[in-house]
Structures are given as structure tokens and as C-alpha cells.
Homo-oligomer: A and B are copies of this chain.
Amino acid sequence: MADIKENLEKLASLQRKISAYAHATALLYFDGNTGAPSKTTENRAISSSILSEELYRLQTSDETFALLEELDAHRDELPESERRQVYLILKELRETRCIPMDEYIALQKLLIESDSVWHEAKERSDFAMFLPYLEKIFEAYKKVAGYAAPDKDPYDYWLSRYEDGLNRETCDKFFSRLREGIVPLLARVMEASGGRVKGMEGYYPVSAQEKLSDYLMDVLLLDRGHCGISTTEHPYTINFGSHLDVRITTNYHENDFIPSMFSVIHEGGHALYETNIDDAYTRTAIDSGVSMGIHESQSRFYENIIARSKGFTSFLFPKLREIFPEALKDATEEDFYLACNTVVPGLIRIDADELTYCLHIMVRYELEKRIMAGELKVSELPSEWNRLYKEYLGVDVPDDKHGVLQDSHWANGNIGYFPSYALGSAYGAQLLSVMKKELDVDACTASGRLEPVNAWLKEHIWRHGSLIAPGELLRRACGEEFNPDYYVNYLSEKYSSVYGLK
């Protein structure tokens, strides 16, 4: 027992060090897209890569590996949280160590180059330029999966890296249920709307929008002492070393306040999850959200289920008129509700409405899966992409910039990542159905008093950090397995109501 105690102290110390390096590299990244001068990118990249290398050395050292193996051998004697920490670190470590060092380094190099080539290729709408890099990435990812999990299908391996336990079977069922629910619903919505778009364009000064951001963070009950807000080109949430320092970002457009408003609420959902992790887990491997899917379930819960609801938009509207008296002087509550819930199939995923969003994800899932299975060549991606956009969304893709080159994910090696966006939306709807049995969620949204909703999510999701695997976490919270019907039903009710469908 004395040995275990000593080893647990070493484990804690190891994790504190890891968190300090993670803090530094996260802060370098954040500085790079908040205030850094334009010609400092290379300088930052050098520091970041040196610190990452130092961390890699620490994490993969024989000493670290021996400590974790020793702790793992006694896993039944460990407290639950430490058992989980050992499991997570060791899993990562074993996978890293089974990749030959030269291939690991070559892959890191490939990803850095590929990101920069993708940027230029997107700018020029030139897929051919990006093709050789993307081919190499998919090849490398198949190979890495083979090293890490030789008995597993390569795509299943990558799916489960982002969402522990996820595989093609679950995804196939999920997406086919979704398609079968959404595609006919979308057709009825389009028929009812006649494709009309309701917007709220006007002049919304940044300083006023900043006030709105502060107000929204207060309504979400975010602890501003542990959560800051900054401006970046693409909004995101990041934590610095622990759940005790979280930053969200947004991007203001002076002709419309709605994009930033939903960014703040979406990132605010991520930040609620992070900042509410149990303090006992500070600076350990479980001191952050457990998976991409669960994380998106929280952000999309606040963005879509809460903030796009009839009740919440009614609650918010008087405040909006107070903040933007000029631009909104002729607008009505109903205009605002419709502007938040207008359905229009489009080309760009990140601009998609709640209803069509998952169709964008389905295209990506379909393509990734077929490439990883060797059923589709990387060179055939643009034409297949365009064909599927026509089939699922009914839109014609004019060029690769607005098509296959729009997302950075593949260029950065995030293969298997997209499905978790859709899963998160579906998790959220299932959580809502359980929450509604215990709380009057509609009353909370209509009054803007979100304490009970937050308390429920803190109890069932947030406080656990990464202690419990995503599937089990959802099962415990909902009392049943993941079931996409809740999401399809939610969408169907919501959009039948918005568009007055019978």
C-alpha cells in the first residue's frame, strides 16, 4: 500500500507537469489568434514545438511508462478517479509508443505542411493542390490505426478516438434514422416557407454587441472569475492548464448580431461544462470534458434547445431592443424568433441552421467511411461531395472552396471527428427528454432563469469531467441507451411548430 501511495503522488505530479505544458501551448495558440502581431507566427511555432517535444519526452519516457504500468497492475486497489486517470493516460501512451518514432515525426510534419497547403488550396479553390497531402494523410491514418489497434477496422479506431466506443454500426444506424426523419421534414418545411429567409440585418456596433455577450454569459450563469471572452476569426473554447481558467471567443459582424450571439451561447455551453468540473480533478487527465460528442451535446443544447426556443427568444427580445434601440426599432419578437429558426439548405456547414446541420455531417461521414474502407479514392472526393450535397441538401456546389475544401478537419488529421457534432445534437435532445420529467424546462427558458437546468447538467454531466466514458455517462443520465429517436422527434415538433406544419 505504501508503494501505491507513493506512485499516486508521482502520478499527480506527472499530471501537474503535463497540465503546465498544455497550459503553455494552449496560451501560445490563443495569443496567436487574439492579439499577436502579424509577423510572429514562426517565432510562436518554434516555442510551441520545443515545449511539445519536451512534453512528449516526459510523457513517453520509460520512467513514466513504468509508473503507469505499475499503477495499472494494481488498478483494482486505486480510487475510481485515479483508476480512470491511469487508464486514459496509458491508453494514449500505448498508442503513441506503438507508432515507430520516424513515422510519428513524419506524420506531425505532414500535418503542419498539409494545414498550410490546405489554406492556400481553399483560397484558390484548387483541390488538385491539396490532393497529394490528403492522400498521404488518409494512408498514414490507416497505418497508424493498424499499429494502434490491429484487430479493429481503421475507421472504427478513429471514430472511437473522438467518441470512446463509437463505431460505423452505431453511426450507420444513427445517420440513417436521421436521414429518414430529416429529409422529408425538410421538404415540408421548404414547401411551407417557399425558401423565404428571415434575417435581422442592420447596424449593430461592436461595443453594443460586447454588452450583449456579457449579458448572455450572465444569463448562462458562467462564472466570469474563471471564464473570459475574447475575439477571434473562428469562435472556440479553450482551457488553460485546468478547468479553473477557461476562455471562450466570438467574432462580431457589425451588420448582424445573431451570429455572435449564438457563438457566445454555443461556446458558453462548452465553458459551462469545463468550468463546472469537480475541483478534486484539477490538473489531472480527467480535468476536461470526456468526449467531443458530449461536449457538443452541451454547447448545442444551450445554442439550439435553449436559445432558439420560443420562450427564450421572447425573454431575450426586450433586452435586445434595449441594447440595439436603433437597429431593432421596427422589429418584432416574432421576427426575431423566425430569424433564429430560419431553415435554408446551404453550402457551408458552419453557417447551417439547426435542421440541415446534420445533413452536412452525413456527407462527411459517408465520404470518410468509404475512403477508409478503400471504396472511394481521395481524388474522387470533389465529385462525390458535390453529388451528395445535391442529393441530401438539394444544392449545387459551385466550386471546391464552397465544397470539399471548406473544413480544416481533414487537413489537420481529424478523421472520424465529424460524426460527434451530429451525435452531440442528438445526445442533447435525449438529455432534454429526461430533464423535462424532473424540471419545467420551458419555464426556465421563458424566464431566462437557468439555475435548475444548469444544476441538472452539473449533477449528471459536468462535474464528472472525463471520469466516466461517454456511453456510460449518457446511459446513467438518461436511464437508457443512446436513442436517436429523441432528436428526430424534437426536430419534427420544433420545426412543425415554427413553420405551422400539420
Contact = CB atoms under 8 A, between A and B. Distances in A.
A226 B44 CA distance: 12
Interface size class of A (residues with CB under 8 A): 35 or more
A43 interface: yes
| Majority secondary structure, A binding face | helix
A122 to B, nearest CB: 24
Contacts of A241: 43-44, 46-47
A283 interface: yes
B46 A20 contact: yes
Q: Which of A38, A48, A244 has the most CB of B within 10 A?
A: A244
A23 B47 contact: yes
Interface of A: 16-17, 19-21, 23-24, 27-28, 31, 34-40, 42-44, 46-48, 50-51, 54, 223-228, 230, 240-242, 244-245, 247, 283
A261 to B, nearest CB: 21
Contacts of A44: 23, 240-241, 245
Given A17-B54, A24-B51, A47-B24, A36 B228 contact: yes
B228 A50 contact: no
A499 B400 CA distance: 71
A332 to B, nearest CB: 33
A180 to B, nearest CB: 45
B37 A19 contact: no
Contacts of A46: 16, 20, 241, 283
Contacts of A283: 46
Nearest to A25: B24
A43 B244 contact: yes
Given A20-B50, A27-B28, A36-B245, 13 more contacts: A16-B46, A17-B54, A23-B47, A24-B24, A24-B28, A31-B240, A35-B228, A38-B225, A39-B244, A40-B244, A43-B241, A44-B240, A44-B241
B230 A37 contact: no
A63 to B, nearest CB: 14
15 contacts: A19-B47, A20-B46, A20-B47, A23-B47, A24-B28, A35-B228, A35-B230, A36-B228, A37-B225, A39-B223, A43-B240, A43-B242, A44-B245, A47-B241, A54-B54
